[in-house]
Amino acid sequence: MNLLENNRIPSLDGLRTISVGLVVLSHYLPLAGSYDNWNLGMLGVKFFFVISGFLITNLLLKETEKTGSIDLTKFYFRRTLRIFPPYYFYLFVIFILSRTVANFPGGDFTAPLTYTSNYDVSTTWNLLHTWSLSVEEQFYLIFPFVLLFFGRKKVVVVLAALVLLSPVIRLTDHYFFSEAGKMWIYYGFHANADGLATGCLMAIFYEKLHQNRYYIRILNSKLFYIAPLLLVLTNSIIEPRRFYLGATFTISNILIVMCIDWAITNYKSNAAGRLLNTSPMEKIGVMSYSIYLWQQPFLNRDSMMWFNEFPYNIAGIVLFSSISYFLIEKMSLRWRSTLEEKLLRRKPKPPVLQPAHVTIG
């Protein structure tokens, strides 16, 4: 499976821009005197989960097709230097500010430091968003082993089971914990595993789906433009809560993965696809991780600090996410490239000497 165009999967950065934009808008609306009635922040997070499942599975499958296995050392090395530096830089700055600036909320850093804040949810706004990053990190830790153990064919059963069982688990948790147990109902890895699994399944079945003329007909239909609208509408239905936990999550994940596939497939053939791949959309998408980290302290609806007011909050997001990306992310990626070459370079095996052929004549 080769989805790469100029060493990138088309449209994914543009979709990341939309995802982080939904989160920023969701957090900004209360500061502007409104409210996120459409549940846009959670929709943005769901997009990130499905994209992660799709991208990581695509990378792992590509490696297994090329080498017959997965180099776990290389995978975790690359993920560590991609994710940890910006994340721990953010936690470090928040920790320092919480100890030096009056009324700046900090809280308990134990769970964020260990990527377990989806099960020990912070009550502090500046650390609350780390729950979703914990879900992602747990996925990175678990899924390569699962894929290696089960193999491409059998892992489909595991992923399909997650898609089917996650709604049941969410409903069961809601029955026992009601809204008091948000870490089990909304934030836990098990509560979001179906979004990741949906992205994984799309990566596995991508080629087969694109060989199915009925699927391609749906993907290329002009009626498909209804899908994003239907997605926003469906995701906004949070009551009754049992329908939201049991059906809305699943329907949203399916619509998200189809929108992702549409964007990848039609990245040149129509205006919407081309827009996702314009330079501004790609650049913001590349910075989306840092933006997601740093939008939180500047969009605190309960804070009376001056930097939570417009336009200082927007300027703060731009400034600190730029510092995070250009000084931390890019530097760590350069280190990754250098260290990977030095530490993980595989030495070629010495050639096996073959006995000379003797011709008798």
pLDDT-wise least confident of 115-119, 170-174, 260-264, 357-361:
357-361
pLDDT number for residue 345: 72
Q: Which helix (H) or strand (E) holds 108?
A: none
Based on the structure, what is the number of domains in the chain? 1
pLDDT of res. 352: 44
Quick: pLDDT tens for 335-354. 998 998 888 775 544 444 44
C-alpha distance from residue 281 to each of 22, 103, 256, 287, 350 (Å): 14, 36, 18, 10, 47
The answer to whether residue 89 sits within a structural domain is yes
Q: Decide if 351 is inside a domain.
A: no
The span from the CA of 192 to the CA of 345, in Å, is: 36
Give the N- to C-terminal CA distance of the chain in Å, as an integer.
50
Instruction: Kindly state whether residue 145 falls inside one of the protein's structural domains.
Output: yes
User: Range of 48's domain?
Assistant: 34-271
pLDDT surpassing 80 at residue 357: no
Residue 156 CB-density burial (10 A; 0-12 exposed, 13-18 middle, 19+ buried): middle
Nearest to 139 by CA among 115, 174, 111: 115
Phi then psi for residue 357, to 5 deg, are -80, 130
What integer pLDDT is reported at residue 105 of this predicted model?
84
Q: Is the peptide bond between 280 and the residue preceding it cis, with omega within 30 degrees of 0?
A: no
pLDDT exceeds cutoff 50 at 356: no
**Is residue 358 pLDDT above 50, yes or no?**
no
Q: Compute the mean pLDDT over every residue in the chain, rounded to the nearest whole number.
A: 92
Q: Could you identify the residue written with the tokens 């417009």?
A: 310
Structure confidence by residue, pLDDT tens digits, 269-328: 889 999 999 999 999 999 999 999 999 999 999 888 999 999 999 999 999 999 999 999
**Could you tell me which of 84, 110, 85 has the C-alpha nearest to residue 95?**
110
Distance between CA 330 and CA 338 in Å, rounded? 12
Whether 359 is covered by a domain: the verdict is no
Residue 3 lies in a domain: no
Q: Is the pLDDT of residue 5 over 70?
A: no
Partnered with residue 5 across adjacent β-strands are: 8
CA separation, residue 62 to residues 24, 65, 66, 68 (Å): 33, 5, 6, 9
Is 349 among the domain residues? no
CA distances 231 to 46, 178, 248, Å, are 11, 26, 9
The one-letter amino acid code at 286 reads: V
Over pLDDT 90: what percentage of the chain?
83
Task: Check residue 2 and give its pLDDT.
Answer: 58
Residue 28 has pLDDT above 70, yes or no: yes
Average pLDDT rounded to a whole number, residues 54-66: 95
List, in order, residues 6 or more apart from 84 with CB less than 8 Å away: 332
- What values do phi and psi take at 135, rounded to 5? -60, -45
In a domain, 277, yes or no: no
In a domain, 23, yes or no: no
Q: How far apart are CA 158 and CA 143, in angstroms?
A: 11
Looking at the predicted structure, is the pLDDT value of residue 355 above 80? no
Residue 304: predicted pLDDT: 86
pLDDT 10s digits, 224-251: 999 999 999 999 999 999 999 999 999 9
294, 315 contact by CB (below 8 A): no
List, in sequence order, the alpha helices (H) in 123-212.
Answer: 125-128, 130-177, 182, 189-209
User: What pLDDT is stored for residue 326 in this prediction?
Assistant: 98
pLDDT of residue 3: 67
Q: How far apart are CA 23 and CA 183, in angstroms?
A: 19
User: How many helices (H) and strands (E) are present in the chain, helices listed first?
Assistant: 17, 0
- Check residue 206 and give its pLDDT: 96
Q: What percent of the chain has pLDDT over 70?
A: 94
Find out whether 52 and 199 touch, Cβ atoms under 8 Å: yes
Which residues, at least 6 apart from 105, have a Cβ–Cβ distance to it below 8 Å?
A: 98, 124, 125, 126, 300, 303
Given this model, what pLDDT does residue 182 score? Answer: 81
Q: Which residues of 179-202 are buried (b: 16+ CB within 10 A; e: fewer)?
A: eeeebbbbbbbbbbbbbbbbbbbb
Summarised one tens digit per residue, pLDDT across range 167-214 is 999 999 999 988 878 888 999 999 999 999 999 999 999 999 999 999
Containing 92, the helix (H) or strand (E) segment is helix 72-100
What is the pLDDT at residue 74?
Answer: 94
